[in-house]
Amino acid sequence: MNLRFLLLILTVTILFSSVFGKVSAQDTRAVVDISNVDSQIMKRITLPAATPIIFSMDKTLATDKREKIEGEKRDKRKERFTNRGEIFYMSVVDDVSIDGAIIIPRGSRGVGEILSVTGRGGFGKSGKIEVKLNFVEVRGKRYEMEGAHLQKGKGQGNLAAAGVILAGPVAGIFIKGEEADIPAGTRLTFRTKDDIILESDEIGQ
């Protein structure tokens, strides 16, 4: 009788330990999983829309006409140095960071487009060139940018008006303003169009 009682107690003890041991292990795994999720959320960083970023021009854009050179041959017919619709490139001047995490590294390439080009003309009219930045490339991704820049040459309107008064309307035709240009190295500021959200494994790479 005593032996049967001892066996019964032993069996109940084993079953009890087995059931509660499994529950405890499952609870522990659940806690670990939730901890990992919370850790990932904490490492997500957002660069807000409309954040200003300074870019530098990679090459000169200008409104004047220049001789076209192909190989060793020079075509005496002059073509506009910069034309509407052309693509140009810029580079980010400084790292864009939040709390020490680099969101947009220095040197990232910006891709822009020439919106309009107007050469200088008579009566003191100056040249004009308008550009916009379409997007910036970061770690293989493209982030849209906003903003445009209008560059004007120095006009000669007052001089042309004086010439018309002194020598007649024909004189104003020969008085022209200056061509416009945006030299290489010129710094321009554009803004991010949307929020830029980076996960933990993308930050600072």
In the predicted model, what is the mean pLDDT of the chain? 76
pLDDT the model gives residue 65:
74
Q: Return contacts of 136-141, CB within 8 angstroms, 24+ apart.
A: 136/53, 136/55, 136/92, 136/104, 136/108, 136/109, 136/110, 136/111, 137/108, 137/109, 137/110, 137/111, 138/103, 138/104, 138/105, 138/108, 138/196, 139/202, 139/205
On the question of pLDDT at 158 being above 70, the answer is no
**pLDDT confidence tier of residue 17, bands split at 50, 70 and 90:** low
CA 162, distance to chain mean position in Å, is 46
pLDDT the model gives residue 171:
39
Residue of 10 and 172 predicted with greater confidence? 10
On the question of pLDDT at 189 being above 60, the answer is yes
On the question of pLDDT at 46 being above 50, the answer is yes
pLDDT the model gives residue 77:
57
Backbone φ and ψ for 60, nearest 5 degrees, come out as -75, 140
What distance in Å separates the CA atoms of residue 145 and residue 122, rounded to the nearest whole number?
Answer: 36
Q: Where are the domains of the chain?
A: 1-42, 45-198
Question: Which run of H or E residues covers position 145?
Answer: strand 141-146
On the question of pLDDT at 141 being above 50, the answer is yes
pLDDT tens string 25-36 = 455 444 445 455
The CATH code for residues 45-198 is 2.40.128
Residue range 114-142: average pLDDT?
88
pLDDT tens string 193-202 = 999 998 877 7
pLDDT the model gives residue 162:
41
Q: pTM for the full model?
A: 0.66
pLDDT the model gives residue 174:
41
Amino acid in position 120: R
